[in-house]
Structure formats: structure tokens, C-alpha cells
Chains A and B, each alone.
Chain A
Amino acid sequence: MKKYILRRVILMIPLVIGITTVTFALIHLIPGDPVELMMSNTRQMTQQEIDRIRDKLGLNDPLPVQYVRYVTNLLKGDMGISVRSRSAVSYEISQRMPDTIILTVTSIVLVLVFALPLGILSALKRGTWIDTAAMTFALFGVSIPAFWFGIMLMLIFGLHLDWLPTVGQGKTPIEFARSLVLPSVTLSLILLGLVTRMARSSMLEVLSLDYVRTAHAKGMGARRVNFRHALPNALIPVLTVISGQFASLLGGAVVIEKIFGWPGIGRLAVDAIFARDYLVVTNTVLVFSIMVILVNLANDILYSYIDPRIRLQ
């Protein structure tokens, strides 16, 4: 087991090198002089001053040297300075991290609570109106733009019915929970349709296996067969799909945080684009990618606990 985890961690290294190369390239693709961008809010500088700063920041060094310095700085937790807030980018991101995590985790819980039972029910009632209704619902789930769904929720539950706050984050625990409802429901839509479909097809597949038929044949009750024998095996691929879709969940969070004024990393990044605060944008990409890799790693390790066959491969 330890060996398996170690191997998976080592396999991550080239990926992390690749990701930092891309974010490094993004920074260098930004049109315009980096020094001017960094100092954009201050007075006009002379060429001499710019040259001195360039030299000091090492922008005249060859690219490989700059890349190594970039990675070393990252390892030290130094992501540079945000031109907008004048504070460290790593500080800005770490401040906003909990809000993004709360939002995404809440949506995953919502997906588990709604999509899983719906998909399983539709597999058990295959061909009935319940199945048709659930699959139609799933089709709408993948066809509705999530951000527009958010606007509609805002319109109905915020403005029309006035049940829930539409923008911002509440301070007290109750207010906080209330302000979390609309963004997290909106974000869950991104996975709702997909996971419902996945749960259905996975359950159908397991139900057609020999051991399930055997269980039926030896006279076991349908409920026991379905929920004790079939369900656990059907759930494994569904959980893998959810962790595999973590990246699209983070992508959705960027947009949804912006719509609902939720103070997470996503909104930070979108606001940074228009302030030309590029280091915040590229580091958001970096942080999100690392999060995706870590979630997939956690999933693989968990998977190998549940299903020992994986470890032997």
C-alpha cells in the first residue's frame, strides 16, 4: 500500500513541472513590459529606472534561470505581489481559499444527496415514467448554462420571493448558511445531470452481473440484493466520476462566485483580469490545478483501499 502511494506521488512530479512551465509561459506571454505592468499604478518611470528594476528582478536572465527561480520561489510560498492590493498573492489566495472550498464541498454534498438516489431509483425503475422523468431532468441538467440557472434562482428566490440573499456572504453562521444556499445549488447543477446518468448506468451494469442474479436465485429479498449487494459496487465508479469532475467544479466556481459575489478565489481571479493583475490570474490557475491533482491522488488512494485489485496493477 505504501509502495502504491509512493509511486502515485512520484508520478505527480512531471505533471507539476509541466503545470508550472505552463503558468510560467503564461506570465511571459503577457504583452507589455512586466516592470511597467507591475508598477502600472505609479508615476511614469525613466528607462534607466526600468532597466535597474529589470536587473534587480532578474528579468534579463535567460529563461531557464528565470524558471528555476520561479519554481524555487513557489516552493518558498512566494507567488509575487498583487499590483492591485499591493499584498502577497499567496496571502490573497490563502485568505480566499476556505470560501472556495466551502462552496465546492457543499455542492458535492448536494450532488450526492440528489443525483445519486435519483440515478439509482431510475435504474431500479428502468423503463417506467420515473426513469423517463429522471433522465429528462438529467438532460436539462447538462443543457442549462449554470450561470443562467444561478440568475434564475436569484430572480425567483431572491428578488421575487425574497427568501434568500442574492449577493455576498453573511457574517453570522445562520446568515452565512443562507447566503451559501443559492451559489452552492447553482454550482451543483454542473454535476447533477452527469452524476444522475452515471449512477443510473453504473447501477444497471451491476444489476446485470451474475452475482446479483445468483443472489436473486437463492431467494434473497429484492431490497437486500439491490441495496446490500449491488449498490456498493455501483457507487465506486460514480465517486470516481465526481472526483474526475472536480476540475469542472472549480471552473464553475469561478463564474458562480462572480455572479453571487462570493468572496472565493474564483471571484478574485475574475476581478484581477480586469485590473490587469496578472500574477493573481496565473497563480489561481496554478493553485486550482494543484488542487485537482491532489483530489485525483486522494481518489486513487481511496479507490485502492476499497478495491484491492487496483494496487496489484
Chain B
Amino acid sequence: MAEQVVELRADAAYENVTRPKSFWNSALRQLIRNNRAILGFAVLLVLVLAAVFAEQIAPYDPIKTNYSNVKQPPSAEHFIGTDELGRDGFSRLIYGARISLAVGFIVSSISVTIGVALGAIAGYFGGIADMAIMRVVDLMMAFPFLVLAIALVAVFGPSLFNMMVALIVLYWIWFARVVRGMVLTLRETEFIVGAKAAGASDIAIIFRHILPNVFPVVVVQGSFSVAEAILIAATLSYLGLGAQPPTPEWGSMLSNAKELMRILPVMSIAPGVAIMITVLAINFIGDALRDALDPTLRQ
């Protein structure tokens, strides 16, 4: 009886004093305290809302031409003027958020899925699978990324869809490399060896024990890759290899605006600022996630 009481007290003391905060809980706490992260999330939220409610927000149809109203300077009706086909620049800018965000998130999430799956397989099972996957990875690393992306789009034909496919073909490699390296070390740790000895199946070990440990790093890398994919997609669209006219996309808007640079410089400025703000916001979030999720950086 007395013994039990002592035990209960010990339990209570444990609950109160050393109750471990969960990893995600304290990560979230640190994220909320980070001003840059809050700013990044706020800006991203505004952009996402603009993308989702583009129909409601944009004052004009982004692809409707109006030849009686071309190359207008900025005014109360047209905040950043109209382009060479009389389309409202501001409306195109808002719809552009849709393309850029969609491309960034779709390319990243598919690449992350493929990269994590192949990286985990290569790292966990080793052998021929590892050999085959890593040879492909090494090979792709030897190519200048943007140049190979351009060549792939050139071969398959310039379009938004083909550009996204080309980016995914090249992007998964980064995640596969990172994840494989982590899995290689994890595989030798005691808790994995223990799980194996207890009779857990490979699938169970990968999903229950390995992936949760890889997840924080993937989240951080993934958020940076969204920002980078947006930059590269805009670059390829600028070259005419991504979004095709009349799609309102920031990169292709900049390419159109080049003709109007002398009379309407604002058309060359606004889409670039939009790209920069989007990428900065996501990089802020990425930096904050890294600080919050990397245990070695935590105070």
C-alpha cells in the first residue's frame, strides 16, 4: 500500500516537472515566436487568398483583349496600366499568383513524394535498388539544372504541363539524396535494430520509424524547393518555355513587358516584385522551419 502511494507520487511529480513537450509542440511554439515566420505566413496567406478568389478580386478578365484601350498608363481604373493587347495588368497579376503558387506547390509535393520514396528504398534496402537509383542521381547531378530543364522542355514541346514534368524529373533527385543519406544512418540506430529484432516488418519500420524521423528535414527542404520552383518556372516562362499566351503568368508577363519598357516600365516592375515577395515569404517560412525543426539549432 505504502509503496503504491510513493509510486503514484513519483508519477505525479514526473507529470508536473519533467513532462516532455512533444517535438512538434515546441517546434510550433518556436515558429509562432518568430516574427519573420509570421510575416511569411501572412504574406503567403494573402497570396493564396488572391489566387483562390482571383475571379472575385480581379477587376477585369485577365485574357480579354481590348484594342481600343492598349498600353494605358497606370490609373484608377487600371492600377498598373494595360498591356499591348489592352488587357488589365493588375488582373493578370492576381491571376498570375494562381499559376506560380500552383506550379511551386505541385512540383515540390510530387518531387518530394517520389524523392522520399526512392531515397527510402535506396537507403533501407541497399543492393541493386540503391545502385540503380544512386547512379541515376549522380548522373543527373552532373548536368546544369536549368540547361537540362530547357532541353527537356525543348524536346517535349513548350507548355506549362511539360515544364512541370521536366521540373519534377529533375527535382526529386535532391530529396532522394538527402533522404537516402539519412536512412543509411537511421538504419543502424538501436531503435530500428530493436524494432527489427521484435519482428516488425520492413514496411512497418519504414512508415512507423524511419519516415517520421526524416520528415522534419523533408519539410524544410520542401519549403525551400517551393520557392526555387517558383523562380525557375517564372524563368522558363519568361523564355517562352512554360506558360503559353494568353495565360497570365508572371514570367511571361515580364517577357511581354519588355517591348513596353520605355513607355510602361511599371509593367516590367510589378510582376517581378510579385515573384520576389512570394519567394521571400516562402524563404522566410523555410528559414523559420529550419530553426524550429533542427534540434541542433534549437536553444
Contacts and interface: CB of A to CB of B under 8 A. Distances in A.
Report whether chain A binds chain B.
yes
Interface stretch (A116-124, A146-154, A176-184): A146-154
Given A270-B150, A274-B240, A289-B142, A155 B265 contact: yes
A144 B234 CA distance: 11
A269 B280 contact: no
Contacts of A159: 261-262, 265
Nearest to A287: B147
Contacts of B280: 139-140, 143
B151 interface: yes
A275 to B, nearest CB: 11
Contact of B235 (A145, A152, A285): A145
B152 to A, nearest CB: 8
A1 interface: no
Contacts of B151: 26, 269, 281-282, 284-285
B227 interface: yes
Contact of B279 (A143, A147, A149, A255): A143
A29 B262 CA distance: 42
Contacts of B254: 147-148, 151
A250 B265 contact: no
Contacts of B156: 29, 31
B146 A254 contact: yes
Given A143-B280, A155-B261, A155-B268, A15 B145 contact: no
Which of B142, B158, B239 has the most chain A CB atoms closer than 10 A to its own CB?
B142
A247 B145 contact: yes
A232 interface: no
B258 interface: yes
A133 to B, nearest CB: 15
B146 A143 contact: no
Nearest to A156: B265
A278 interface: yes
Interface string A265-294: 000011011100010011011001100110
Contact of A254 (B139, B150, B275): B150
A159 B234 CA distance: 24
A140 B144 CA distance: 23
B154 A281 contact: yes
Given A145-B276, A285-B151, A22 B283 contact: no
Interface string B267-288: 0110110011001100100010
Contacts of B269: 152, 155
B294 interface: no
B228 to A, nearest CB: 9
Contact of A151 (B139, B153, B258, B262): B258
Most buried by B among A144, A145, A154: A145
Contacts of A139: 280, 283, 287
Nearest to A293: B142
Contacts of A264: none
A18 interface: yes
A299 interface: no
Nearest to B265: A155
The prevalent SS among residues of B at the interface is helix
B184 interface: no
B135 A151 contact: no
A74 interface: no
Given A145-B231, A159-B261, A282-B151, A255 B143 contact: no
A29 B155 contact: yes
Given A151-B254, A155-B261, A26 B155 contact: yes
A143 B54 CA distance: 24
Contacts of B265: 155, 159-160
Contacts of A226: none
Contacts of B144: 247-248, 250-251, 285, 288-289, 292
Interface string B142-170: 11111110111111111000000000000
A252 B146 contact: yes
Contacts of A109: none
A142 interface: yes
Given A145-B235, A148-B276, A247 B150 contact: no
Interface in B224-266: 227, 231, 234-235, 238-241, 251, 254, 258, 261-262, 265
Contact of A15 (B139, B150, B239, B262): B139
Given A22-B143, A247-B145, A285-B143, A273 B241 contact: yes
A258 interface: yes
Interface of A: 15, 18-19, 22, 26, 29-31, 139-140, 142-149, 151-152, 154-155, 159-160, 247-248, 250-252, 254-255, 258, 269-270, 272-274, 278, 281-282, 284-285, 288-289, 292-293
Interface of B: 135, 138-139, 142-148, 150-158, 227, 231, 234-235, 238-241, 251, 254, 258, 261-262, 265, 268-269, 271-272, 275-276, 279-280, 283, 287
Closest 3 CB pairs of A and B: A251-B146, A148-B272, A247-B144
Given A143-B276, A144-B279, A269-B151, 13 more contacts: A18-B142, A26-B152, A29-B156, A139-B287, A143-B283, A145-B234, A147-B234, A152-B268, A247-B143, A269-B150, A281-B155, A285-B151, A292-B143
